[in-house]
Amino acid sequence: MGPRRSRKEASVNTPLPPVATTDPATLSLREAFAFLDDRIAGRVLISGDPGWDAARSAWNLAVDQRPTAIVVATTTDDVVHTVRMAAELGVAVAPQATGHNAGPLAADDGLAGVILLRTHEMRGVEIDAEARIARVQAGAQWGDVVAAAAPLGLTALAGTAHDVGVVGYTLGGGVSWLARSHGLAANHVVAIELVTADGAARRVDAENDPELFWALRGGGGDLGIVTALEFGLFDVPTLSAGMLLWPIERTAEVLTAWSEWVDGLPASVTSVARVLRLPPMPELPPFLSGRALVVVEVAMQEDPARADELLAPLRALVPEVDTVHPQSTAELLQLHMDPPQPVPGHGDGMMLDELTPAAIRAFVDAVGPDASSALLSAEIRHLGGMMDPGVARAAASVHGTPQPGVTAGFAAGFLLFGVGIAMPDNGAALAASLDRLLSAVEPWRADIDYLNFAEHARPAERFFGDDLERLRAVKRSVDPARVIRSNHPIG
């Protein structure tokens, strides 16, 4: 207790950043945060405290988060106390686990007047193998879930990297390597534990507060602070996955063949086409390090013979490298080659209605071999199958499972995302390259956007369309004072 009290005394004497509060003195806030620190199992940090800069860092190191205070929560009670304190102080609370997609959250004011509630230490995972249900805490990452489920022969609808947070990914929808056959991860959530703006801990499902349950599944993080999720796991008996690589000079040829190949594919196949410009890095294999490439990544729930049959049109292009092989679903976390640790980045995405020959030409002109692009990766993901919202809702009706939430799927054919590593000397070039890519494909842009791939703020109508007013009614009912802050507010 001695060192803990000394740390607090030092914090009280540290100036706080400006906050949106009517309190007559900043000292009252310092005292309130010290009081909160005493009451929770976790810890409260303010500017100047040891660990402050690490705690405020987002996964994207280019994002500058400057909140009024940070609470590192370790229990649901910590979350309850924090929300109640925030309401009393007249400040907001922004939950954050890994800090993916934090750019829109900190864009305007750096989170002034906001308590950043970090949940990354709440990483418990429980698996009910018989029921094929996972229960995960707020800070769990997909690597945690896969490590627990895979030895039991079960598969989660995980993100493309081990360190993606389960909660944020799922609340935004969740597009996995199995999404064309299984739909969005949000559609398979069976229960949600959360703390709402009144400081109440709730558990909602299809029978208990079904309207809030509907809104949370794909509505993002604006409705409450989720402390645990329960969702379905699956038996995926056969899988072949990997990548096919060609030199970047063959981008137009490969993308044309890929766009024709995906037309009519069974829902058992999910694939991504991307252009990579990789820097020389010793941790990369020689066939990738320092190379500019066009790549097709595939995950195929087919036996090897059928996978070979389906891949024949792409293999006829004679890829320089072909890594497709039978594997466990746990290996899918490595397929997309996401950075293994936080990096500074600049990126954004959009959805496309279709991928016409003209759209392919525009994409190639923006990022292909003759483009002076600073982007590390420009990718196009094939959607459809169970990601079609009508198909997802019809399947739920047939199987007697709960109807999907606000984001059942996407009325779009493809998902595009471009990103580069932000360095001190390439900011202008990187921004120009991303703008060039997004502008080039704008004519084929769909009417909807995907929360998890929207790295910059945009109107809520872009995410929720005709469901927005219903969603806003739920927000008003559970958070009329807008205590909860998210990266993509409902409004």
- pLDDT at position 21 is 40
pTM of the model: 0.92
The total of other beta-carbon atoms located within 10 Å of residue 105's CB is 25
Q: Where are the beta strands (DSSP E) in 18-106?
A: 43-45, 69-72, 92-96
Instruction: For residues 35 and 85, give the distance between their C-alpha atoms in angstroms, rounded to a whole number.
Output: 10
Q: Average pLDDT in the 346-373 region?
A: 98
- pLDDT at position 179 is 98
CA R_g for the chain = 23
Q: Average pLDDT in the 215-225 region?
A: 98
- pLDDT at position 315 is 98
Which amino acid appears at position 485 of this protein? R
Domains of the chain, with CATH numbers? Answer: 2-118 (3.30.465.10), 125-235+464-478 (3.30.465.10), 240-453 (3.40.462.20)
353 and 413 Cβ atoms separated by less than 8 Å: yes
What percent of the chain has pLDDT above 90?
Answer: 89
Band of residue 97 on the pLDDT scale cut at 50, 70, 90:
very high
Q: What is the pLDDT of residues 38-65, one digit of tens each?
A: 999 999 999 999 999 999 999 999 999 9
174 and 232 Cβ atoms separated by less than 8 Å: no
- pLDDT at position 109 is 87
Residue 438 has pLDDT above 60, yes or no: yes
- pLDDT at position 491 is 83
What percent of the chain has pLDDT above 70?
Answer: 95
- Chain centroid to Cα 288, Å, comes to 25
- pLDDT at position 24 is 32
Q: Average pLDDT in the 133-141 region?
A: 98
- pLDDT at position 148 is 98
How many residues are given for the chain?
491
Rounded mean pLDDT of the chain? 93
Band of residue 30 on the pLDDT scale cut at 50, 70, 90:
confident
Band of residue 259 on the pLDDT scale cut at 50, 70, 90:
very high
- Chain centroid to Cα 340, Å, comes to 15
Residue 168 has pLDDT above 70, yes or no: yes
420 and 372 Cβ atoms separated by less than 8 Å: no
Residue 2 has pLDDT above 70, yes or no: no
Number of H helices, E strands in the chain: 17, 17
Closest CA to 298 of 350, 263, 336, 246: 336
Q: What is the pLDDT of residues 269-313, one digit of tens each?
A: 999 999 999 999 888 888 889 999 999 999 999 999 999 999 999
Element (H, E) at 269: strand 269-277
Q: What is the pLDDT of residues 238-255, one digit of tens each?
A: 999 999 999 999 999 999
DSSP string, 91-154: -EEEEESS-TT-HHHHTTTTTTTEEEEE-TT---EEEETTTTEEEEETT-BHHHHHHHHGGGT-
Residue 334 has pLDDT above 50, yes or no: yes
Q: What is the pLDDT of residues 365-394, one digit of tens each?
A: 999 999 999 999 999 999 999 999 999 999
- pLDDT at position 16 is 36
